[in-house]
Chain A
Amino acid sequence: GAVVSQHPSRVICKSGTSVKIECRSLDFQATTMFWYRQFPKKSLMLMATSNEGSKATYEQGVEKDKFLINHASLTLSTLTVTSAHPEDSSFYICSARDVQGAGDQPQHFGDGTRLSIL
């Protein structure tokens, strides 16, 4: 089955640090990856759509300078939380769609990254 690997699974760092989260599709290629954020006991909120070889599309209210997204290859997208502060602490989850097959392929999710900013 389609596997999406997300790394790291847990990050604890000091305020002001920049943190990079990687999302890799292991056995398929993905022209589009998605980044979501989930607060404790809350739903997932789409932050941005990551497009291979082009700029990411950010949802309204998401600071593009705070959350830098790079999708340099068909198997890797990265989310960098720049100058992280305690309010950036959250659970971040990526997903990816297989570029092969029908256009209605479901999204496959990574296992998420728990980010804690002290």
Chain B
Amino acid sequence: AQTVTQSQPEMSVQEAETVTLSCTYDTSESDYYLFWYKQPPSRQMILVIRQEAYKQQNATENRFSVNFQKAAKSFSLKISDSQLGDAAMYFCAYSGRSGGGADGLTFGKGTHLIIQP
């Protein structure tokens, strides 16, 4: 079974600074997807960024980028120029591809990100 570990229950960063959220995972599969989701107090799940394991290039979405280290099974999220609206719970998630993309997501326990004005 796959597992996702987020070792930082809470992180705090000053507005406009950069913060990195850590995530490690364990799997025996060679092809899979990794995701970062944001969950604000409204509890809506918002996809931040997605990485396909067979792609070596790290995914980026505006101020959000990942550092994907496949051999180390590490998938960290970097948020640049942090904004007050970035404050939320951030979940790292894993999905296999064995089911033709029909695999559910395995989530980490989440990191509560606080933005200090």
Contacts and interface: CB of A to CB of B under 8 A. Distances in A.
Whether chains A and B associate is yes
Interface of A: 31-32, 34, 36, 38, 42-46, 49, 51, 59, 91, 93, 95, 97, 103-107, 109, 111-112
23 contacts: A31-B102, A36-B105, A38-B43, A43-B91, A43-B109, A43-B110, A44-B45, A46-B106, A49-B102, A59-B104, A93-B43, A97-B102, A103-B100, A104-B52, A104-B97, A104-B101, A105-B101, A106-B35, A106-B47, A109-B44, A111-B44, A112-B43, A112-B45
B116 to A, nearest CB: 21
Interface string B83-117: 00000000100010100111011111110000000
A43 B91 CA distance: 8
B39 to A, nearest CB: 9
Contacts of A34: 104-105
B101 A91 contact: no
Interface in B45-90: 45, 47, 50, 52
A43 B107 contact: yes
Contact of A93 (B35, B45, B101, B106): B45
A106 B35 CA distance: 9
